[in-house]
Chain A
Amino acid sequence: MNRYEILNQVYTNKVKTVIQENYRIKTIEIDHRMDCLPGQFLMVWIPGSGERPMSIGNADPLTISVANVGKVSGEIVNLVEGDRISYRGPFGNPFTIPKNAKKILCIGGGYGVVPMYFLARKAKEAGVNAIAVIGAKSENDIVWEKQLFVVCERVHITTDDGSKGKKGTVMIEVNELVEDVDAVYACGPEKMMAAVAKLCREKKKFCEVSIERIMKCGVGICGSCAINGKLCCMDGPVFTGEEALAMEEFGK
């Protein structure tokens, strides 16, 4: 053996495409086909700035969607086609689709739709129908709607201000849709995910949510992302609704 194997190397590849989704979110397609699953994430590194977890939106080409909210995300959205992007991963546990599921519900808020698209796409490939619900503040905040249309049977939209779809939270749609699906998935604000998880408990539906915490190492050793005895990066970020509801911090 010439070299020891590195479990988690830093990849550097070219940015293939950059898509401006709205006033603050950009989607970045990377010239890399990665072996990864919906719900997993990358640690994206901008030399000289920092490193942040980003959900994977697609495996081929490897895709992320980034909201410009601060230091590192602000650097990532400045990347243009042909630039190089560096990252480690994939990390975390993916979503799971129960064996006998025929129809699933994918609920995304904000950039939470990113892993929901990837999940719906994988579901479709496996012959499972997906229905999507996108929740947003207003019309301008909706992203990945077109992509979801391609892989979902239907896409429902709710906005806080009623500028598109139904006015209100995703729950107005979810309350009805939950009845005829076999599994429910949510990624977005914790209050929303908590409401979804509680509904699924009541309706006895399989439910998984994706939880965000500040992550530093990404590989389960530093403990920064600890949430009630679990590590978000290793044990999550996908947790069952019941696991999430058992966490004191969840949904606060």
Chain B
Amino acid sequence: MNSINDLYRQVIVEHYKNPRNKGLKEGSEYRRLRLKNPSCGDDVTIQIKTNGNVVEEVLHDGSGCSICCSSASVMSEVIKGKTIEEAEGLVEDFYSLIKGEEPRDEESLDEAMAFVGVSQFPARVKCATLSWKALGALLIGEEGVKDIHE
């Protein structure tokens, strides 16, 4: 049986309690995307500021379960300072991790590796991926508010 501690790793609980980069900013240099999952109530807004090819800032706000909220917080740190291509690669890597596959670049995933246990809890996969989906969409130029249905 999977242990509950495989899911709720220290890093995850810590980010849930003390989220980094939380709260949105005003300004035209910021682009935001809000993703809501009406079936479970998770509701996340991700905001990024890019400078040339570099993602200078990642901010988040919203409400949801611990996996959803901490995932946004961890992501905001992991992605900050990466180039758009690197960030896109990390989004793919995170999806691989959550699917139980080997990510290409474990080192760059850094603290996001703490979500490795989620693959054993299929009911929680959508919680972990919500903010990464928002980031992925922002990186290819989308903005606004969207409901996702799973």
Say whether A and B bind each other.
no
